[in-house]
Amino acid sequence: MSSYRRMGRQARHARRHGMQPMMVINSGDPFPELAILIIARWVRRYRSELAPVSVAVLLAIFGWFAHRALSSWWPLILASSGISAWVLGGLGARFGVPTRLERLYLAVTLLACGTWDTLAAAIGPFTSPLPQALGIGGLVLSVPWWANRRRRAKVRVERTIAIWPDIAKDIGLTGSQILSATVDLWGWRARLGLARGQTITDVMAKVPAIESGFGAHRNAIRVHPTPDDLANRCELRVLDRDPHADAIPWRGPSVASITEPIDLGPFEDAEPCRVLFLRRHAILGGATGAGKSGGLNELLANLAACRDVVIWAVDLKRGMELRPWAACIDRLATTPQEAAALLADAVTILYARAQHLADHGWREWEPSGHMPVLVIIIDEYAELAEQAPGAMKHTDTIARLGRAPAVTLVAATQRPTQKVMGQGAVRSQMNIRIAFRIQEQRDVDLILGQGMLKAGWPAHKLNAPGKFLVSSPEHDTPRRARAYLITDDDVRDAVARYGPARPQLDAISRRALANGPPTAAQPPADEPGRGAGAGTGEPAANPDEMADGSQEKPDNALWLALCAAPGEGLEIDELMRVTGWKRTKLYRHLREHAGAGRAIQVSRGHWRARTTGETSP
């Protein structure tokens, strides 16, 4: 290899003979960029960081112009800057400046700039010490700007939006684009427009890849439908910090009546997770240590504060979990025998209330202090299914028929399998499903419903006790929340406050428990123009049915089921399970009830008792 000295001699020799250096550019090779373009691109990229320099330059230019043309207007410049600083400091929240510290910083900066321009207009911008003041003051006021977290987050979001097309191409979402983005306290969120043929399900499947493309933490991205519910739009939320990293202390009951939605804890955007439990059954599922017992305690604390709720409870761990609430629980079962008797009595109350509703032409039990809702809480439902299998038929009946008579079932379990949930009616009738952290992915569908895992409900990724996902009529999108932390002192305070003033069962329910199960109740007698609500006393039995003793009990069960049916009616399959009849026989009896004006077909395959004055659809 030639030395540098030899290469230099060869270069000088070539120049003496007229040879000049050449640049060879192949076809397709770009020309080198001009330095000014590189500088302009750099300035644009770091325009946020260079904003103080830009403001200082503009101040100097305006000061020079004001001194040349508006030197006598300096009082107006000073007054305008003072008024603007006062307005921004006091009303800055209306202009998108949320925090008080940021408003103070902007007010001070605006006042300083106005004062400098006033002096520049009066004596000239280059008169000492104005240049020194501009440099030192600009440097001092730039430090808070450079250190501001929201500004840095906004810059990062803007740069992410700029590279999103490349990320989308790499992860298989080619053609999607970020339409808008906003920065909040915990991170930022963006409205994502999807290409033709892409759906929110595709985005949910790509969440790990999006996290990798953004360089975010694991489980830091959430995908939700947009408020307008368009199929080609979704909302992408990126968390820089976990809003639920720390436990959230309980602030006391959020309701005084079961007719109000209960606050179970805040979502990640600080919005309270409010769920209505009136005429809805609920299931709470989660692995050991996931916070399921804490969520149950929180629910009990809110129900204890309701003046129109009577609480019954089943705790087959000999009351270890629920006994601290004994003063607020009207009836607590701690053995399999007690649990079976409690659930049987609950069914008796259900039928008695259903008969009362039918006799008065009412569709639903309206809760009050004298007519309270009966809430039955079962901790570790799997233990009940194993130790008292005979009680499963009662939980099935409550799950199917308990909504209208206001007999509510709340079951907590680690894994609600088909075997644990009895005949399956319990799980299928749960309107509220709360999933804490679970061990296996397949358990997501067991708790939240079939297909929920693929729909983006990752309960197996919840990483702290108390975090949960809730599926209910109010909440049909997978938003993470965290239950409030209720300490032992909170439990003792709630029991001491609400225990002495707990309501009692209504007279109808007490009378039903004293008289036993309603084995003799029959539909009202057939009279022209009279429906189920026309009866004023004890309903009369049907002589034709009484002639065949084998039909008396099934027809009674059919009538009570129709009375307890919700407004949308009960399905034929449910009525077949209640009566034990085949489809043809069931339809024959339903036609008899309909012909007598006692029953009504709400829709295809759905029946219920007819109220007073109600006409057929």
Contact, 293 vs 321, CB < 8 A? yes
Which residue type occupies 496?
A: A
Quick check: is 66 in a domain? yes
Q: What is the pLDDT of residue 14?
A: 73
Per-residue pLDDT band at 16 (split at 50, 70, 90): confident
pLDDT of 18 > 80? The answer is no
pLDDT for the residue numbered 525 = 45
Query: Which residue is it, tokens 């009960």?
Result: 570
Both 81 and 118 in a single domain? yes
Distance, CA of 395 to CA of 378 (rounded, Å): 10
Give the sign of the dihedral formed by CA 251, CA 224, CA 284, CA 473: positive
Strand ranges (E), 12-149: none
Identify whether the C-beta of residue 148 lies closer than 8 Å to the C-beta of residue 108: no
Q: In the numeric block, which tokens belong to residue 558?
A: 């059919």
Q: Is residue 36 part of a domain?
A: no
Whether 162 and 211 map to the same domain: the answer is yes
Residue 28 confidence class, pLDDT cut points 50, 70, 90: low
Domain boundary among 216, 239, 262: 239
- Are residue 157 and residue 223 in the same domain, yes or no? yes
Same domain, 549 and 592: yes
Its domain, for residue 204, covers 150-239
Q: Which residue has the higher pLDDT, 611 or 101?
A: 101
Answer whether residue 20 shows pLDDT above 70: no
Residue 69's nearest CA partner among 111, 129, 120 is 120
Given a contact cutoff of 8 angstroms between Cβ atoms, the answer to whether 328 and 300 are in contact is: yes
DSSP-derived letter for residue 108 is H
| 125 and 71 in a common domain | yes
Q: Are residues 430 and 573 in the same domain?
A: no
Using the 3D structure, point to which of 114, 147, 180 is the last residue of a domain: 147
Tell me: pLDDT of 424 over 60: no
Whether residue 422 is found in the same domain as residue 541: no
Tally the domains of the chain: 4
Angle at 437 between CA 436 and CA 442, to 5 degrees: 105
Residue 482 has pLDDT above 70, yes or no: yes
pLDDT bin (cut points 50, 70, 90) of residue 23 is: low
pLDDT digits (tens, 9 = 90+) for 205-232: 899 999 998 888 888 898 888 888 899 9
Whichever domain contains 159, its CATH number is 3.30.980.40
Query: Where is mean pLDDT largest: 86-95, 451-460, 499-508?
Result: 499-508
Residue 19 lies in a domain: no
Question: Please, are residues 567 and 363 in contact by the beta-carbon 8 Å criterion?
Answer: yes
pLDDT-based confidence at 6, cuts 50/70/90? confident
pTM of the model: 0.69
Give the least confident one: 130-134, 341-345, 562-566. 562-566
Sequence length of the chain is: 617
Of residues 177 and 153, the one with the higher pLDDT is 177
pLDDT at residue number 528: 35
Report the alpha-carbon distance of residue 235 to residue 221 in Å, rounded: 10
- Residue 75 maps to a domain: yes
| Own/partner long-range contacts of 475-478 (Cβ < 8 Å, ≥24 apart) | 475/273, 475/275, 477/224, 477/225, 478/222, 478/224
**Which residue carries 């607590």 as its tokens?**
332
> Shortest CA distance to 392 belongs to which of 315, 427, 340, 337?
340
Residues 173 and 108 grouped into a single domain: no
Q: End of a domain among 147, 180, 197?
A: 147
pLDDT surpasses 50 at 402: yes
> If we measure between CA atoms, which residue out of 343, 464, 275 comes closest to residue 283?
275
DSSP state of 272: E
Considering the domain architecture, whether residues 421 and 282 belong to the same structural domain is answered as yes
- Answer whether residue 380 is part of any domain: yes
Is the pLDDT at 261 greater than 70? The verdict is yes
Domain-located, residue 155: yes
Q: Which of 126-140, 151-165, 528-542, 571-585 has the lowest mean pLDDT?
A: 528-542
Same domain assignment for residues 490 and 343? yes
In a domain, 15, yes or no: no
Where residue 250 falls (left for φ over 0; alpha for ψ -120 to 50; beta otherwise) is: beta
Give yes or no: residues 426 and 289 share one domain.
yes
Residues 80 and 170 placed together within one structural domain of the fold: no
Helix or strand holding residue 77 (H, E): helix 74-91
Residue 451 falls within a domain, yes or no? no
